[in-house]
Amino acid sequence: MRLRHIKQGDVFFEEDCGRTVLLEALETAREVDDAKTGRHGHECRARVLRGDTCMADKHGVLTLFECHNPHGYGLNLYLA
């Protein structure tokens, strides 16, 4: 599944390099189209429910970002 499909309250897994983290979406994914930074894609803030990620702040919250066209690299997301 793609980040653009995530809605507020969804509980999902994100898998990266053999590590799996259970997350809850704090907001519905929104489109980002920022010419100044070159960021074009979708982003969403989520809270870590289980697992460990170095990207989360001290409250266990992180922002996920996925480019519109990830060219073979994208987030590995699965609904829980």
Interval 16-68: pLDDT, tens: 878 899 999 999 999 999 888 878 999 999 999 999 888 899 999 999 999 98
More confident residue, 23 or 71: 23
Whole-number pLDDT of residue 39: 82
Summarize the chain as % helix, strand, coil (round to 5): 5, 50, 45
Strand partners, 15: 20, 76
Whole-number pLDDT of residue 70: 67
Give residues with Cβ within 8 angstroms of 56, minimum separation 6.
Answer: 48, 62
Q: What is the mean pLDDT of residues 1-16?
A: 94
pTM of the model: 0.86
